[in-house]
Amino acid sequence: MSAESGAGRPKAPRPRRSAAGNVAFGVGVLLVLATATLGAYAVVALLGQAVDSGPLSSAVPEEGHNALIVGGIAIGGLTGLMLPLIFFGMVRGNEHTPRVGPVSAARKVLAVLVFDVVLTVVSFVVAQLGWLLPAQITTVVAVFVIGFSWMPLAMVPWERFGLGEGFGKLRGSSASHQAQ
């Protein structure tokens, strides 16, 4: 008897997808890509209206508008990508990846919306560089800063706040099913 964790045991082959499953997967991918793209366009349009002729017209310099466009792409793309995936997780599941419950889905949607607010604030802060820098340099800085603004959030130990245990439980339940 070996004390290994089952590395020598052959794994059961995964069942192959049917043609209908492949079509459904392709439709799902197209839907997610479409919502991400349309979300990016929608947020860019909303931020553009708020800055060009709206209440924020005096708060953002002309050279900082591209920072808001970069932020709008990030906000709309992230929201348009994550919401369909969360909803798909609510209706699809199997023994290895259980369905996402309504409470967990609501928590995930709330997390996406909070991150959208963080990206909006970061976009407006970077747009203020337009008072000091030319538009091209402001755009480059915006791409870098907005693109990496998620890094501090990734370093927070969310499990200590009770927010990261869903992923651990998912992996743990999957591991416990395999061990049985």
Q: What is the pLDDT of residues 44-98, one digit of tens each?
A: 888 777 777 767 777 888 888 888 888 888 898 889 888 888 888 888 777 777 8
pLDDT reported for residue 5: 57
Q: What is the pLDDT of residues 2-46, one digit of tens each?
A: 555 556 666 666 667 788 888 888 888 898 889 988 888 888 888
Number of alpha carbons in the 13 Å side-chain half-sphere of residue 168 = 8
Distance CA 134, CA 151 (A): 26
Query: What token pair was written down for 23?
Result: 């079509």
CB–CB of 44/73 below 8 Å?
A: yes
